[in-house]
């Protein structure tokens, strides 16, 4: 029984870390709602037309070859949003050579 409890306790954090990003569409939410989703979900992929942007919260959780930046997009009301914590390609990173 102890082994089972220990195995579950060890595997639980790895499952939560391996979870993929939450995918949301920018045209379905307002700027405030998008910012709240990013803060609560930690990993978010926001669709913007044909492409999209990755957001990571808290900062400094981007993957290798990426850097933190801000992203400009339009919400469901057509307002321009400026969101922090966007992970964008870093051309100066050694991972991108």
- Give tens-digit pLDDT for 38-79: 888 888 888 877 777 777 777 656 778 888 888 888 888 888
State residue 10's pLDDT score: 57
Residues 14-18 have a mean pLDDT of 51
- Give tens-digit pLDDT for 2-11: 654 555 555 5
Q: Which long-range contacts (CB under 8 A, 24 or more apart) does 23-29 make?
A: 23/47, 26/73, 26/74, 26/75, 26/76, 27/74, 27/75, 27/76, 28/76, 29/75, 29/76
State residue 75's pLDDT score: 83
What's the pTM? 0.65
């Amino acid at each position: 029984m102890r082994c089972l409890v220990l195995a579950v306790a060890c595997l639980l954090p790895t499952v939560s870390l391996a979870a993929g990003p939450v995918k949301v569409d920018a045209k379905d939410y307002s700027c405030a709602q998008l910012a709240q989703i990013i803060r609560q979900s930690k990993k978010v992929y926001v669709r913007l037309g044909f492409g999209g942007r990755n957001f990571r919260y808290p900062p400094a959780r981007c993957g290798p070859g990426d850097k933190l930046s801000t992203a400009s997009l339009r919400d469901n009301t057509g307002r321009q949003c400026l969101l922090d914590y966007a992970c964008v390609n870093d051309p100066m990173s050694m991972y991108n050579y």
